[in-house]
Amino acid sequence: MRKILFTMLVAAGVPVLMNSASAAEPIALRDMGSFHVGGRIVEITGKPVKEVVFTPGGVPAKVDPNGKYQVEQMYVQYFLPQNRHGKLPLLLWHGGGLSGVTYETKPDGKPGWLNYFIRAGWDTYISDAMERGRSGWTSTFKGEAMALPFGDPWERFRMGPIGSWNDDPAKRVAYPGSQFPADAYPQFMKQGVPRWVTTDDEIVKAYIELVDKICPCVVLVHSQSGTFGYKVLEARPDKVKALVAVEPTLGGDKNKVGLLKNTPVFIMYGDNAKDHPRWSKIRQTGVDYAGVLKGAGGSVDIVDLPDVGIKGNSHMLMMDKNNAQTADLIQKWLVGKGLAE
């Protein structure tokens, strides 16, 4: 039944966005801006004062590294359309090793989901997870920051199958019918930022502070932030009114599904997820969790895109060539839940 519904939506033809706000029309905003939430002050003691020349040839300045430091805050940028059609704010959370840029202009230079959802009339909030991008970072985190080598995401994010990467673009093989704009892969890699693997608790804390400030709301998560989305939903079940999980890396806590009964969840997977040695496990974890949530009375819709006729999507769905089509699916689901008009 679910598959039939989504097949009908896809077959319906004209994208939702094209009905309401053509990409050629201006974007009219009643306001736009940014802020940081959360964080705390830490104290460092016992280090020597340094004299630092900040600019070559400049005047040396004394810098005392001791003292209190602001750490662990999170950056948020917002765009509030003049003609609002989303009934609640929409929060877009990115995946690991990336920043809010994930939802901005795609690596191929075409509009991303940020512009789509603003044009669809959502008050849209994009954040850089604590520690990444404009949130800043601190040397007080445990462990080392890491970055992915240039070729690594090609297979990790299912642009091409295992073994398909080659330093020579001409010899690099994408999945047949891949929707990822392969020529734009180098531009995609410029979006990467270092990440730690020890900071989940601080990341979730900052997201909760954002939710406490902005919500009730709809939260859209991707990849690593799937985990964060479920954790925040478990902590603030009355404030997150819908969760859209795009290729989440995990489900939530099976012992807490009872808390989530009033929040509809929409989970979306791209192509080749079922067969991929790593993604098949990741997907199954999410599907198993969804089963437990449904068993407890929760509302979950899972879409494997190839099953509704949308083929070739990578893990970076919002950057794929057909990103308006997948955004349309999300928009229609939100409209169906009464959260937009």
Window 285 to 304, contacts with a second copy (CB under 8 A) = 285
Q: Is 77 in the site for a second copy (CB under 8 A)?
A: yes
Closest approach of Cβ 272 to a second copy, in Å? 16
Cα–Cα separations (whole angstroms), residue 329 to 9, 14, 206, 332: 7, 12, 29, 5
- In the set 63, 213, 261, 288, which binds a second copy (CB under 8 A)? 63
In the complex, the smallest distance separating the C-beta of residue 135 from a second copy, rounded to whole angstroms, is 8
Q: Does 182 bind a second copy (CB under 8 A)?
A: no
Binding a second copy by CB under 8 A: which of 18, 28, 258, 338? Answer: 28
317 residue type, one letter: L
Q: Which residues in the 197-216 window bind a second copy by CB under 8 A?
A: 197, 200
**Residues in binding contact with a second copy, number by CB under 8 A:** 81
Nearest-approach distance from CB 241 to a second copy, in angstroms? 25
314 closest CA partner among 95, 14, 9 = 95
Task: Please give the angle made by the CA atoms of 180, 186 and 188, to the nearest 5 degrees.
Answer: 60
Region 78-97 residues binding a second copy, contact defined as CB under 8 A: 82, 96
- Least distance from C-beta 237 to a second copy, angstroms? 20
The structure tokens 């199958």 sit at 161
Strands 61-63 and 50-52, how do they pair? antiparallel
Q: Which of residues 307-326 bind a second copy (CB under 8 A)?
A: none
Q: Does 46 bind a second copy (CB under 8 A)?
A: no
Residues found in the chain: 341
227 belongs to the binding site for a second copy (CB under 8 A): yes
Specify whether the CB–CB gap between 1 and 45 falls below 8 A. Answer: no
**Binding positions for a second copy, 100-139, rule CB under 8 A:** 100-101, 104-105, 109, 111-112, 115, 128, 133-134, 136-139
Q: Output Rg (C-alpha) for the chain, integer angstroms.
A: 21
Candidates 11, 13, 14, 26: give the one binding a second copy (CB under 8 A).
Answer: 26
Q: How wide is the angle at C-alpha 34 spanned by C-alphas 28 and 38, nearest 5°?
A: 145
Q: How crowded is residue 111: how many other Cβ atoms within 10 Å of its Cβ?
A: 17
